[in-house]
Amino acid sequence: MNKFLNILPLCAALAMSLPVASFAQTETTETPAEAAPAAEAAPKASDIEAQLSMGDETEENTEFGRPYTKEVVGAWEMRCIKTEEGTDPCQMYQLMDDGEGVPVAEFSLFRLPGGGKAEAGATVVVPLETALPAQLNISVDGGKARRYPYAFCNPVGCYVRMGLTSEDVAAFKRGKEAVLTIVPALAPDQKVELVLSLDGFTAGFDKSSVIDQ
């Protein structure tokens, strides 16, 4: 009995020292997993490109119809419109300020075909808060003023569309400056005088286009 007890620890040690493989061989061998299906082939670059639009060139020039300053003549900008024909119509333009550099009004002038009472036409744009019944007054070098009504207003401002006779144009050519007078709607007892320089008027007038429409 004592001899049996003495060999038990030895048997246990031998059992623990047996290779694990001998135990694993008694387990059921698992069937290898089936191979995963092959991944689908990546699309070729030519296949993707066939679905893309490369765009087409258009004959339209986005610059057509846009205003630009062709040159500056004295106090005037020659404002032109880009056209497809290449013959860009130009008119004279001047931005008037309040004497301290703050823009207040715009003055644009163009020539008209001969045969009518007006030799030239002009558009003046003034602020919205202008007293319209007072109309716009303009005088050259302190001479007698002429009065022009406002035609309409939009979010930009209120517009005067005036016709200038040959005598008016001649006065502009001789003159040094014209003074445009407007009346604020919130202060009808006051007047705002805006100076329009006539420096370079003759040269600019000769370069401006004849507008017949």
- The more confident residue out of 43 and 18 is 43
Mean pLDDT of the chain: 82
Whether 22 has a pLDDT exceeding 50, the answer reads no
Instruction: Enumerate domains of the chain plus CATH numbers.
Output: 67-207 (2.60.40.1880)
- In the prediction, which pLDDT does 60 show? 58
Q: Residue 1 — pLDDT band, cuts 50, 70, 90?
A: very low
pTM: 0.69
Q: What is the pLDDT of residues 90-114, one digit of tens each?
A: 999 999 998 889 999 999 999 999 8
Mean pLDDT of 54-59: 70
Q: What is the mean pLDDT of residues 189-197?
A: 96
Query: What pLDDT is attached to residue 189?
Result: 95
- Spell out a b/e string for 110-136, using b for 16 or more CB atoms within 10 Å of the CB, else e: bbbeeeeebbbbbbbbbbeebbeebbb
Q: Give me the mean pLDDT over the 170-195 stretch.
A: 97
